[in-house]
Amino acid sequence: MTPADRFARLPELIADDTDLQRRGRWLNVECRIEIGAEPFHLVLHDGALAAFDRGPRLMRSTAFTIRGTDEAWTQHWRKIPDPGWHDLFALTKRGVASFDGDLRPLLQNLQFFKDLLALPRRQPEAG
């Protein structure tokens, strides 16, 4: 299973996490997450995932983008990641992930997004 395939299961992972939804209850934003070469478009409404599209969408407008290499996400989603791969900012510091766009909604809800992007860790590790 590719890292993008793992991330494609995000809707069920969020649906199972009522605490994450509770913490995101003030959040309404559209953002883009890139898993290696594959973009995903997320619409978050009151902390729930209102829409989730895999693949490029022409002229889709989003507030911000978080992108990481396939290796970054694979390492980040290990059950216990190695040092230097265990946090979003550890990834950006080592140059395998980056942010751009309007970072305000990201920083206003930073723990929510860190936890959301770590959700695939809950799945069995890819073989």
Partner 1 sequence: MAPVLDPMVGRYVRLDIDGVPHRIYFEEAGSGIPLVCLHTAGADNRQFRHLLADPEVTKRYRVMAFDMPWHGKSTPPDGWEKTEYRLTTASYTAAIRAFCKAMELDRPVVMGCSIGGRIVLNLAIAHAAEFRALVALEAADFQQPWYDTAWLHRPDVHGGEVCAALISGLVAPQAPPVNRHETLWMYMQGGPGIFKGDLYFYRVDGDLREKVKTIDTKVCPLYLLTGEYDFSCTAADTLRTASQIPGVQVQVMKELGHFPMSENPAKFREYILPVLEKIAKT
Stretch that binds partner 1, among 10-18, 38-46, 65-73, 101-109 (CB under 8 A): 101-109
DSSP H or E stretch at residue 110: helix 110-118
Q: Which is nearer to partner 1, 41 or 67 (CB)?
A: 67
Stretch that binds partner 1, among 8-16, 30-38, 58-66, 99-107 (CB under 8 A): 99-107
Minimum CB separation of residue 26 from partner 1 in Å reads: 10
**Cβ 121 vs Cβ 85: under 8 Å:** no
Beta strands in the chain (DSSP E): 28-35, 38-45, 48-54, 64-68, 97-101
Phi, psi of 119 (to 5 degrees): -55, -40
Q: 6-16 burial, b if ≥16 CB within 10 A, otherwise e?
A: bbbebeebbee
Residue 123 interacts with partner 1 (CB under 8 A): yes or no = no
| 79 to 98: interface string for partner 1, x by CB under 8 A | -xx-xx-xxxxx-xxx----
Give the residues lining the site for partner 1 (CB under 8 A).
Answer: 80-81, 83-84, 86-90, 92-94, 103-104, 107-108, 110-111, 114
